[in-house]
Homo-oligomer: A and B are copies of this chain.
């Protein structure tokens, strides 16, 4: 599927064109990959804006960029065999040829195939690297998470509980807040759409906030800065509230608190912590099997569903890691 428009505002279905092509045939040293699950991520919105950033913007007519997992169908490459389970930036397409570069073989996990995006994928690495490496948590501290019911936030909170933190989540529906408290054992969860949300948040963070894991930005960031303790850390993961903005969005108006409270605000990308993947997979598998780490996936079907589905991330209507199923997954494990 090729991008056609890179405007501001929400993504529209006709920003993309669905193109059919003959099935590609791998030549010497190539492999043919069948994509199974395509990850939909907030960062994709940024890739469609024509400006310099950490990756080049997707150009009009290019195949839309995207992380996916799939199966090797045919291989003329010495390091891959038909049936291998693989991950890579396969883009918004059902089949692709690859020379094997930047294609990663997936380890056995015993979990359904979708877990490689929902638990072990970028969401997992973002949560793991962001909380443990950037946040540097110490037992007994208070961790506040915005977008807490999202694929990253829900993992961050559970890792926080495993590390002995008091965990408070911010989400946008009562159903999500209940899920965080009852299923994921968050100490508290607050619905930011409630009228007295700020009062509830203050009560939930009675000892202040030592680590704020930020996925949202805007007013939620401001209310969190007011609650931060001296020498607190803001793990800046995302600012989803402003990715569709049509004009520059001002930063927090209480930014001067960063000085008086001696805060550290640090941005990061999951890929900065690629060296931690093995450690993460091993820990996650253990925590999952002991029931301490749960995840959920929100799967839509068919490549043609992708442009509409991605907007679920921006209105908060997804429940779990959002992905598009493009073909049948292999049987687990």
Contacts and interface: CB of A to CB of B under 8 A. Distances in A.
Given A251-B250, A251-B251, A253-B251, A237 B259 contact: yes
A264 B265 contact: yes
A185 interface: no
Interface of A: 46, 53-54, 217, 230, 236-239, 242, 248-269, 272
Given A236-B258, A249-B253, A259-B267, 16 more contacts: A54-B260, A236-B259, A237-B259, A248-B253, A248-B254, A249-B255, A250-B250, A251-B252, A251-B255, A252-B255, A257-B267, A258-B266, A259-B268, A259-B269, A263-B267, A264-B265
A65 B249 CA distance: 37
The number of times this chain is found in the oligomer is 2
A84 to B, nearest CB: 32
The 7 A-B residue pairs with the shortest CB-CB distance, nearest first, are: A251-B251, A250-B250, A251-B255, A248-B253, A259-B267, A258-B267, A265-B265
A239 B256 contact: yes
Contacts of A263: 266-267
A253 B250 contact: yes
B272 A267 contact: no
